[in-house]
C-alpha cells in the first residue's frame, strides 16, 4: 500500500517512538515501521505513560519525529469496576504523551476505538459525527482523544474496530481454540462491525504518519459483518467443521455495553487521497495463512 501524498518525510529519515509496543498492534507496528524508520518500541516496563516526569525524560532524550501512541487500557469489562485505572492510562497517559510531543515538536498518532460511539446508528459513523460512548472504556478513550486534540497541534487520531493479529488475545484466536474443543458454539448475531487485521492497520498508519494530513481517521478493513458471520468465516478459512449458531447479546450478558452497530465510514481516508484497507475477508484469509505457518 503506497500513498500518493505530498509533504511526505521519507520513512528512513524518521524516528518513531511506539508506546504499547508489546500489544497485538504494537508488535506489528514495530516490525513494519522498523523496516523503513528508526523505531523505538516502548512497552510498559520501558515507559509508564501514566508517569508524566518519566514521559518527559525518555521522550525528550529520543526526540522522535512521530509518537504512535498505542498503549491503552483495553479490558472493556474490567474497566466498569476499575474506572480510575482506565482513565489513568487512556486519559492521563495520553495527556502526558501530548504535552511532551508538543514541547519537542513531535507528531502524535493516537490509536482510538469504535467504542467512542453509542452503536445506535443505522448508517456508518463519519469521523466528525458526535461521539457518545456508553461504557467506561469508550469514555476513557474519548477523553484521551480530547486531550490529544486540545494539547497537540500535530495529531492523527485513528479509530479502529474488532482488531486481531498474530500477537495477544483476540476473537479470531479464541474462535480457533474453542472450535478445536467443541463441535458447535453460539455467537452473537446482533452486533455489526468491521474486523481489522493489525498488519493492514500498521501499513495504513505508516502511510499516514509520513504526511501532514492531520485529523481524525476511521480505519478498519472494508466491509461489514456480525460476530456470528465473522466466526463462520474464521472456521471456513481455517478449514474447521465447527458449527456456529446465532444468538442475541441478551443471551450473553456482560458488565460493559457493546455497540450494536459500530461500522465506520472511511471518509477521511478517501478525502485525503489515501488507499483504503482491503476487504476484511481477504485480510482474514492472509492472517490464517500466517497463523497456520506459526503453529507447531
Report the catalytic residues.
137
| Cell matching residue 193 | 462491525
CA distance 19 to 142: 18
The kind and range of the H/E element at 18 are strand 15-19
How wide is the angle at C-alpha 11 spanned by C-alphas 39 and 207, nearest 5°? 100
SS3 10: coil
- Region of 6 (left: φ > 0; alpha: ψ -120 to 50; beta: rest) is beta
Contact of 70 with 111, CB cutoff 8 Å: yes
**Count, residues in the chain:** 296
Burial of 230 (0-12, 13-18, 19+ CB in 10 A): buried
The kind and range of the H/E element at 186 are strand 184-188
The kind and range of the H/E element at 176 are helix 171-181
Amino acid at each position: 500500500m503506497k500513498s500518493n501524498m505530498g509533504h511526505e518525510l521519507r520513512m528512513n529519515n524518521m524516528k518513531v517512538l511506539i508506546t504499547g509496543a508489546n500489544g497485538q498492534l504494537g508488535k506489528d507496528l514495530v516490525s513494519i515501521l522498523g523496516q523503513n524508520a528508526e523505531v523505538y518500541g516502548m512497552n510498559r516496563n520501558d515507559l509508564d505513560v501514566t508517569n508524566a516526569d518519566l514521559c518527559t525524560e525518555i521522550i525528550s532524550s529520543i526526540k522522535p519525529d512521530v509518537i504512535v501512541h498505542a498503549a491503552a487500557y483495553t479490558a472493556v469489562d474490567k474497566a466498569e469496576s476499575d474506572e480510575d485505572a482506565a482513565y489513568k492510562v487512556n486519559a492521563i497517559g495520553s495527556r502526558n504523551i501530548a504535552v511532551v510531543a508538543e514541547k519537542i515538536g513531535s507528531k502524535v498518532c493516537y490509536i482510538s476505538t469504535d467504542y467512542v460511539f453509542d452503536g445506535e446508528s443505522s448508517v456508518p459513523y463519519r469521523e466528525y459525527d458526535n461521539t457518545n460512548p456508553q461504557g467506561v472504556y469508550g469514555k476513557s478513550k474519548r477523553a484521551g482523544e480530547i486531550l490529544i486534540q486540545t494539547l497537540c497541534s500535530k495529531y492523527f487520531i485513528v479509530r479502529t474496530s474488532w482488531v486481531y493479529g498474530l500477537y495477544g488475545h483476540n476473537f479470531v484466536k479464541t474462535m480457533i481454540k474453542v472450535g478445536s474443543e467443541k463441535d458447535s458454539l453460539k455467537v452473537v448475531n446482533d452486533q455489526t462491525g468491521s474486523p481489522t487485521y493489525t498488519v493492514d492497520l500498521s501499513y495504513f498508519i505508516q502511510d499516514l504518519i509520513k504526511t501532514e494530513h492531520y485529523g481524525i481517521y476511521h480505519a478498519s478493513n472494508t466491509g461489514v459483518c456480525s460476530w456470528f458471520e465473522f466466526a463462520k468465516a474464521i472456521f471456513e478459512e481455517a478449514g474447521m467443521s465447527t458449527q456456529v449458531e446465532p444468538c442475541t447479546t441478551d443471551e450473553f450478558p456482560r458488565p460493559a455495553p457493546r455497540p450494536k452497530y459500530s461500522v465506520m465510514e472511511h471518509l477521511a481516508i478517501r478525502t485525503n487521497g489515501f488507499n483504503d484497507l482491503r476487504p476484511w475477508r481477504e485480510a482474514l484469509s492472509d492472517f490464517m495463512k500466517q497463523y497456520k505457518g506459526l503453529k507447531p
